[in-house]
Chains A and B, each alone.
Chain A
Amino acid sequence: MPRKREAQNEINAGSMADIAFLLLVFFLVTTTMDSSWGIQRKIPPLPEPNQERVDIKQRNVFVVLANANDQLLVEGELLVIDQIREKAKEFIVNPARKENLPEWEDVSVSIAKERITYFTGKGNIEKVAVWQKRLNAAELVGDFTITKQVISLQNDRGTSYKLYIQVQNELAAAYRELRDDLCMQEFRMTFSELEQLAKNNREDPSLKKKLKAIKTVYPQKISEAEPKNLGG
Chain B
Amino acid sequence: MSKFKKDGTRELPPVSTASLPDIVFMLLFFFMVTTVMREVDLKVKQTSPAATEIQKLENKSLVHYIYIGEPMDTEKFGTEPRIQLADDFGVVGDVGAYIIQKRTEVVEGLIPKLTTSLKVDRDVKMGVISDVKQELRIVSALKLNYATVEGGLDK
Contact = CB atoms under 8 A, between A and B. Distances in A.
B146 A38 contact: yes
Contacts of B150: 35, 37
A40 B56 CA distance: 9
Contacts of B79: none
Interface stretch (A105-113, A165-173, A206-214): A165-173
B108 to A, nearest CB: 19
B49 interface: yes
Interface string A161-184: 110111011001100100000000
Contact of B153 (A20, A164, A169): A169
Contacts, number: 155
A34 B35 contact: yes
Nearest to B117: A38
B51 A227 contact: no
B39 to A, nearest CB: 9
B107 interface: no
Contact of B53 (A34, A162, A173): A173
A43 B138 contact: no
A227 B137 CA distance: 14
A39 B146 contact: yes
Given A36-B57, A46-B138, A173 B52 contact: yes
Given A16-B21, A31-B31, A165 B148 contact: yes
Interface string B23-50: 0110110011011111000000000110
A82 B153 CA distance: 9
B125 A158 contact: yes
A44 B53 contact: no
Interface in B92-148: 115, 117, 120-127, 129-130, 133-134, 136-138, 140, 142-148
A202 interface: no
Interface stretch (A21-29, A49-57, A116-124): A21-29
Given A31-B36, A42-B144, A172 B21 contact: no
A169 B51 contact: yes
B2 interface: no
Given A17-B20, A159-B125, A161-B125, A27 B32 contact: yes
A37 B149 CA distance: 7
B72 interface: no
A147 interface: no
A28 B48 CA distance: 21
A24 B57 contact: no
19 contacts: A13-B18, A30-B37, A31-B31, A32-B36, A35-B48, A39-B51, A39-B146, A44-B137, A45-B142, A46-B138, A82-B153, A157-B125, A159-B126, A161-B124, A164-B126, A169-B51, A169-B52, A173-B53, A224-B133
Interface of B: 17-18, 20-21, 24-25, 27-28, 31-32, 34-38, 48-49, 51-57, 60, 63, 115, 117, 120-127, 129-130, 133-134, 136-138, 140, 142-150, 153-154
Given A165-B49, A168-B146, 9 more contacts: A20-B21, A27-B28, A36-B56, A38-B54, A42-B143, A158-B126, A160-B123, A161-B125, A169-B148
